Amino acid sequence: MKFSRLALAVSVLPASLLAVEQPGSLEEQLKVPALVITSGRQAEPRAQATTATSVFSRADIERLQPTSVVELLRRVPGVQVTDNGSGSLASLYIRGTKSAQSLVLVDGMRIGSASSGDSNLQHINVDQIERIEVLRGPRSAVYGADAIGGVVQIFTRRSAGEGLKPFVRASYGSNHTWQRSAGLSGGDGQTRFSLAGSLDETDGIDRTGTSYASDQDHDAYRNKAFSLSLSHSFNDSIEAGVNVLDQRGRTEFDNPFGRFDMTTFESVGQAPYSDFTVSSVSSYLDAQINDTWGSRLEVGHSENREESLDKLSDERGVFNTYRDSVNWLNTLTLSDSHSLLLGADWYEDQLNSNTAFEEQQRWNQAAFVQHRYEGESFSTELGLRHDKNEQFGSENTWSGALTLPLNAANDLILSYSEGFRAPTFNDLYYPDYSNPNLKPEHSKSYELQWRSELAETTRLEASLYRTDIEDAIASDQNFIPQNIAKARIHGFEAALQQELFGWQGQLGVAFVDPRDRDSGHTLNRRARRTLSLDLDRTFGDFAVGATWRAVSSSYDDPNNKYELAGYGLLGLRGSWQATPELKLEAKIDNLMDKDYQQALYEHEGTRYAYRQAGRTALLGFVWTPKI
């Protein structure tokens, strides 16, 4: 039997959880929605994973026709993503936490900026993605710093099977938007590969209204992306592979605040833009040492580079993060009921900037252990991780979970998790606006999950949770970051999958109450209620679908003075498999041409809303010729 990392995970499961046929390679595992990898850093059935998890497979991506990763993530209950147009910075809020409090991985490698903590998700091209997994809730006991709100892991596109399988995709739509991609995948029983490239371009929209004359233009966006995956099984026990993902391009944006001109002592307009690169290279060696011990070694390098420029001045800002990492994971099957995950992580951040940071390099090393017990009456998971960082010192994080099967169709999961966020280089060393004495932020979370197979075609997952954040980093009246803030987040979320009269439905709802414990104010730009509904049906060669997304009101500022109105957006999509090799696709977003806002800006003492795109359409084709 061909070697599989999954064998270690499934060997401790009761027979009732093994209804899903277990694939034999990681390439195949990534194509099975009933499996997850991110929760325990190994492939396992979703029924075993203790963390609330959402999965988007390649089939989901093709069915939903998203134009960006951001669009996909907005479907996850408890997840909000705000931006100000194509290519603009996407702010990720998982369960009421902010972007820097959630961890983003590509093929197991961190991709965030060491200076700001942002991960630039908006630049990752969906045509280069095989799968996305979203963990909701702290996972620092397994991943270390930054996993307070949750973890998003993106897997690069993989082989579509044996033999050569090419594809070509092209779309054109509103605002002179072009999306073009092509790829080739294939292999045999031992070696598999996938190679793909894409080019996305759009003229964009004018994101600001009343502002400087230089801002009254459309903000264009261009993204060139490339992905490569290659894996080889030397025998039934040893497998090696490499994965590459690279995005680079240019995004234009508006600066309605203007630039202070030192010669005229007045605020003047700008025409700013950024050249960006987000890339990750990872390699692995997977070995089944014996019947008890499986080991995996991962080595990676990621880059998050941004150079900001202005067409009307010589202003220039460079913030480039280079990160090297090594991960060693070991799974020990101690018996039919007990297993251990043992691991060690190391990574080093290097910041290159034209801003004079006092420090521009730091390393982090960690060791962790996680024990699992699987019994007939209950199951447990207990994890501990120790991190040692060159700048902020040592941290220990714990997690524990108890799973109680009520019957064959219902499980209750009680869990406790700790998390922490390491201060960024901006927090610690940005000239005149930093604090080198900052401590990491800390969190404690308590959660109750209910998972139910209500019927053969119905699945419900619901979570009730509380998160307390201490030592939260916030700026004082002099804009110096301090460990002065505290936050308390209560929340409920539910995900329902239902098939009815041939329609496939997916509903996600979330209620969250994120508050500053000192002031009592709601944390800014976080809506208390969100809803996402997808309906899809196939009629022979035709497929149709619709998406409804509703977001309640929120506040733009921490003092809750400026309210952002709630909104609802409707989207339609359809496809026609015209021939076995040619599929035509069409979609309309914001069908009702809703005017809505996700952020405000101030100009000459008055606040205005950043503009969002109105009704947009996209028409394209996918050609998969047979060779």
DSSP code per residue over 200-263: EEE------SSS-GGG-S---EEEEEEEEEEEEESSSSEEEEEEEEEEEEEEE---TT-EEETT
Residue 407 has pLDDT above 80, yes or no: yes
Nearest to 443 by CA among 150, 67, 221: 150
Torsion sign (Cα): 126, 127, 128, 134: positive
Burial class (CB in 10 A: 0-12, 13-18, 19+), 268: middle
Residue range 203-220: average pLDDT? 85
Q: In this predicted structure, what is the pLDDT of residue 23?
A: 53
pLDDT bin (cut points 50, 70, 90) of residue 12 is very low
What are the boundaries of each domain within the chain? 6-623
pLDDT bin (cut points 50, 70, 90) of residue 1 is very low
Q: In this predicted structure, what is the pLDDT of residue 136?
A: 96
DSSP single-letter state for residue 610: P
Half-sphere exposure of 413 (CA within 13 A, CB side): 25
Residue range 21-39: average pLDDT? 72
Query: What does each C-alpha distance from 491 to 78, 441, 506, 556, 559 come to in angstroms?
Result: 8, 20, 20, 20, 21
Summarised one tens digit per residue, pLDDT across range 102-132 is: 999 999 999 989 999 999 999 999 999 999 9
Nearest to 186 by CA among 158, 225, 224, 223: 158
Indicate the pTM of the whole model: 0.92
pLDDT bin (cut points 50, 70, 90) of residue 210 is confident
Query: What does each C-alpha distance from 323 to 110, 111, 152, 182, 353 come to in angstroms?
Result: 8, 8, 18, 29, 14
Q: CA triplet 69, 75, 78: central angle to 5 degrees?
A: 110
CA max distance for the chain? 77
Nearest to 590 by CA among 619, 567, 621, 563: 567
Give the C-alpha separation, 58 to 130, whole Å. 5
Q: In this predicted structure, what is the pLDDT of residue 265?
A: 67
Residue 299 has pLDDT above 80, yes or no: yes
CATH T-level topology, domain 6-623: Maltoporin; Chain A (2.40.170)
Q: Helix, strand, or coil here: 6? A: helix
What does the mean pLDDT of the chain come to?
A: 91
Residue range 451-463: average pLDDT? 91
Residue range 280-300: average pLDDT? 95
* List of residues 6+ apart from 259 with CB closer than 8 A: 267, 268, 269, 270, 310, 313, 315
Residue range 615-621: average pLDDT? 98
pLDDT bin (cut points 50, 70, 90) of residue 9 is very low
Question: Are 244 and 36 contacting, i.e. CB atoms less than 8 angstroms apart?
Answer: no
Summarised one tens digit per residue, pLDDT across range 354-398 is: 999 999 999 999 999 999 999 999 999 999 999 999 988 899 999
Residue 402 has pLDDT above 70, yes or no: yes
Query: What does each C-alpha distance from 175 to 255, 351, 527 come to in angstroms?
Result: 21, 36, 29
Strands 529-539 and 316-333: unpaired
Residue percentage of the chain with pLDDT more than 70: 95
* List of residues 6+ apart from 178 with CB closer than 8 A: 170, 171, 172, 199, 200, 201, 202
Summarised one tens digit per residue, pLDDT across range 221-262 is: 999 999 999 999 999 899 999 999 999 999 998 888 877 776
Residue range 194-223: average pLDDT? 90
pLDDT bin (cut points 50, 70, 90) of residue 562 is very high
Which range among 47-51, 142-146, 337-341, 369-373 shows the weakest confidence by mean pLDDT?
47-51
What DSSP assignment string belongs to 526-559?
--SEEEEEEEEEEETTEEEEEEEEEE--EESSTT
Write down the residue that tokens 């497979």 correspond to: 57
Q: How many CB atoms lie within 10 A of CB 220?
A: 19
Residue 88 has pLDDT above 70, yes or no: yes
- Residue type at 298? E
Residue 154 has pLDDT above 80, yes or no: yes
Torsion sign (Cα): 75, 81, 85, 86: negative
Nearest to 443 by CA among 95, 42, 40: 95
